[in-house]
Amino acid sequence: MLKQPIKLTHWPENLTRSYRAKGYWIDQPLTRGLRHQARVQPNLTAIICGSRSLSYGEVEQRFMALARRLTASGLGRGDTALVQLPNSAEFYITLLALLEAGIASVNALFAHKQNELNAYADQIEPSLLIVDRSHPLFRDNQYVESLKARSGRLDTVLFRSAETADQSLDDWMGPNVESLSGAGDDLPQPGPTDPDQVAFFQLSGGSTGTPKLVPRTHNDYDYSIRASAKICGLSPSTRFLCALPAPHNFLLSSPGALGVFHAGGTVVLAPNPDPQICFPIIARHKVTMAALVPSAVSMWLRAVEQAKADPTAQEQDLSSLKLVQVGGASFAESEARRVPKVLGCTLQQVFGMAEGLVNYTRLDDDPEIIFTTQGRPISDDDEVRVVDENGDDVLDGQTGMLATRGPYTFRGYFQSPDANANAFDDQGFYFSGDLVQRLPSGHLRVVGRVKDQINRGGEKIAAEEIETLLLRHPQVNQAALVAIDDLLLGEKSCAFIVAEGALRPAELRRHLIKLGVADYKLPDRVRFIDRMPLTAVGKTDKRALRKSLSDGFARSDAGKIPIPETL
Ligand code: J2J
């Protein structure tokens, strides 16, 4: 029996016609870029991962083998997969295989734990799970069994870093596809979903209780990738460093690894943006371009300056680096101005979102524009409105809420009617929750947000999600999570708690860890208060809570700051 396509809120007919007519939507699968390069330059390097180097030909062979195996085992269009892999060649090979086989994946960050994975599994009911045995959740089979209980459809589980008894991801990518299935030519052939249907799900930063999923189609995502690759000047000589989580929209599509594959360049993987790890990689592999969050750029600037001041320090050859992209959170103008001087390369500011719209400063923009704005949209057909609380457009230079629609901005979260009712107006404009100003040139400046979210160095935390979990502690009567200013990360989180009886921050931390929350979502500070301040309409007055945080309280100890590994 044919499975139903995955539910999607489509763009209106007149717009889809126009996006096709203008050449944005080309009705090709997202694997097109890599497969094209595998044909024209099979021996060039596509991925460098530790000591391994994979050519375009090898990557294609491996992902096609995996796609065929998956198809042979009865998986295909209408099926979904939950994937959690670290930064590795296998991540890209898996993603490409699932796209080729028509299986829509959710690619969880490696930092995610049961809280997040359960939420994704409940939404997509995966038939397939692809995970890494080195992740603490998958050291034994207990959690896999509980995921199977959540999703009745889940019966295929593949492991990276597999143990002997496991179905090994590596074997499924291996060359002996026919002999493994014993069928040969009779095997059903893999086929991607229709280009207008869901290709995979991106993860929303979110501001509600449950992590939300953004369905992305081949057509819309591929357009954003092709156009981004052009804006960023990618070519076969591009060597792109991916040192943040590979599944994140920034690292995947702005222009990210998929943009690099489209252009025939090389993706060089690193586990995190620590300069001690990344600088030698840049020197060894002659990296030309890196995508970073602001806190990582600040660490790089500091590391270069410290090395310059220290005559005994080993020299770091960063001369191959031509472009550093910074995005995901606000980047201080003073830091932006230092980038060309200290790192000796061009800076590009990127303001994007998993939901769609991506803005770039252009490589040839006036330096003042690059230092002081977060760029302008990819497409002439990105409709951007900056509006006041009545929905009326504000003048250029004035602050308003960002609302957008266009050829690669989604039309609705997966199975979330309430969130969609809040996030969209009746014209299909998506309200991102950002407060921005637009310059007459079309460049945007991000000046704040209205969404109830904390942006911890690019890692997004939906306040409501954590508040709901805090409230599950029997002694917590009320909870509110707010942002504290932080010198390196931009923001950290502080939980205000009204508790019953004596309760210690460590106990709350243990409670959240037990619920399986990703570490970056654990409150950095906890404050116990007697009463929640309320607004006139009786809601928690978060503004008052933020104001009550004194400067001294908010200051962070730079020496103790963990390296931001996730976006
Ligand atoms: C201020 N805030 C920013 C910026 C994102 C490219 C780059 C980033 C993301 C991303 C992405 C910002 N200055 N330069 O998907 O393709 C905040 C805004 C935005 C939210 C989206 C991409 N760049 N932000 O960060 O889905 O609040 O995507 O709405 O994780 O990050 O977060 P996310």
Range 6-27 average pLDDT: 97
Q: What is the pLDDT of residue 538?
A: 85
Strand, helix or coil for residue 332: coil
Provide the 10 A C-beta neighbour count for residue 560: 6
Give CA 77 to chain center in angstroms: 24
CATH code for the domain defined by 219-449: 3.40.50.12780
Tell whether the model's pLDDT for residue 185 goes beyond 80. Answer: no
Contacts of 173 (CB under 8 A, 6+ apart): 62, 63, 65, 66, 90, 93, 97
Q: How confident is the model at residue 188 (pLDDT cuts 50, 70, 90)?
A: confident
CATH superfamily, domain 457-561, is ANL, C-terminal domain (3.30.300.30)
**Residue 329: what residue type?**
A
Distance 156 CA to ligand 1 centre (A): 34
Tell whether the model's pLDDT for residue 267 goes beyond 90. Answer: yes
Residue nearest atom 3 of ligand 1, based on CA coordinates: 329
CA distance readout (Å), 263 to 38, 56, 57, 221, 238: 11, 12, 15, 15, 8
Q: What is the phi/psi pair of residue 138, to 5°?
A: -115, 20
CATH code for the domain defined by 31-43+56-191: 3.40.50.980
Q: Name the residue of 244, 330, 353, 404 whose CB sits within 8 Å of the most ligand 1 atoms, as the mutation to test its pocket.
A: 353
Tokens 């969880």, residue located: 108
- The 3-state secondary structure of 418-486, one letter per residue: HHHHHHECCCCCEEEEEEEEECCCCCEEEEEECCCEEEECCEEEEHHHHHHHHHCCCCEEEEEEEEEEE
Tell whether the model's pLDDT for residue 558 goes beyond 50. Answer: no
CATH 3.30.300.30 residue spans of the chain: 457-561
E-assigned strand segments in 249-342: 266-269, 289-292, 323-327
Give CA 549 to chain center in angstroms: 30
**Residue 198: what residue type?**
V
Contacts of 253 (CB under 8 A, 6+ apart): 221, 224, 225, 228, 259, 358
Give CA 147 to chain center in angstroms: 23
Distance 61 CA to ligand 1 centre (A): 34
Report the chain's C-alpha Rg in angstroms. Answer: 23
Per residue in 455-511, pLDDT (tens digit) is 999 999 999 999 999 999 999 999 999 999 999 999 999 999 999 999 999 999 999
Provide the 10 A C-beta neighbour count for residue 444: 23
Residue nearest atom 28 of ligand 1, based on CA coordinates: 353
Residue nearest atom 32 of ligand 1, based on CA coordinates: 353
Q: Name the residue of 339, 351, 379 whose CB sits within 8 Å of the most ligand 1 atoms, as the mutation to test its pocket.
A: 351
Pocket of ligand 1 (CB under 6 A): 205, 249-250, 253-254, 327-330, 349-354, 358, 374, 432, 434, 446, 449, 455, 460, 567
User: Can you tell me the distance from the alpha carbon of 52 to that of 56, in angstroms, rounded to the nearest whole number?
Assistant: 13
Q: How confident is the model at residue 560 (pLDDT cuts 50, 70, 90)?
A: very low
Residue nearest atom 16 of ligand 1, based on CA coordinates: 250
Q: How confident is the model at residue 564 (pLDDT cuts 50, 70, 90)?
A: very low
Distance 402 CA to ligand 1 centre (A): 13
For the CA of 567, the closest atom of ligand 1 is 30
User: Can you tell me the distance from the alpha carbon of 387 to that of 403, in angstroms, rounded to the nearest whole number?
Assistant: 7
Joined together, the tokens standing for residue 476 give 């917590």
Tell whether the model's pLDDT for residue 179 goes beyond 70. Answer: no
What is the dihedral angle through the alpha carbons of 349, 354, 357, 359, rounded to the nearest 10 degrees? 0
Distance 443 CA to ligand 1 centre (A): 15
For the CA of 327, the closest atom of ligand 1 is 14
Strand partners, 342: none
Tokens 């295909």, residue located: 76
Per residue in 39-77, pLDDT (tens digit) is 999 999 999 999 999 999 999 999 999 999 999 999 999
Distance 322 CA to ligand 1 centre (A): 22
Distance 521 CA to ligand 1 centre (A): 17
Which of 4-8, 265-269, 288-292, 348-352 is least confident? 4-8
Tell whether the model's pLDDT for residue 174 goes beyond 90. Answer: yes
Strands 430-438 and 444-449: antiparallel
Q: What is the pLDDT of residue 183?
A: 52
Tell whether the model's pLDDT for residue 536 goes beyond 90. Answer: no
pTM: 0.94
Q: What sign results for the dihedral spanned by CA atoms 411, 409, 401, 297? A: positive
Tell whether the model's pLDDT for residue 525 goes beyond 90. Answer: yes
| Nearest alpha carbon to residue 11 among 284, 211, 217 | 217
Distance 142 CA to ligand 1 centre (A): 35
Q: What is the pLDDT of residue 539?
A: 87
Burial string for 454-482 (b: 16+ CB within 10 Å, else e) reads bbbbbbbbbbbbbbebbeebeebeebbbb
CATH 3.40.50.12780 residue spans of the chain: 219-449
Strand, helix or coil for residue 536: coil
Residue nearest atom 25 of ligand 1, based on CA coordinates: 328
Distance 251 CA to ligand 1 centre (A): 11
Q: How big is the CA angle at 52 (ends 157 and 227), to the nearest 5 degrees?
A: 80
Distance 533 CA to ligand 1 centre (A): 30
Residue nearest atom 5 of ligand 1, based on CA coordinates: 328
Mean pLDDT of the chain: 94
- Contact indicator for 377, 438 with CB cutoff of 8 Å: no
| Nearest alpha carbon to residue 197 among 65, 25, 68, 66 | 25
Range 208-214 average pLDDT: 90
- Contact indicator for 352, 378 with CB cutoff of 8 Å: no
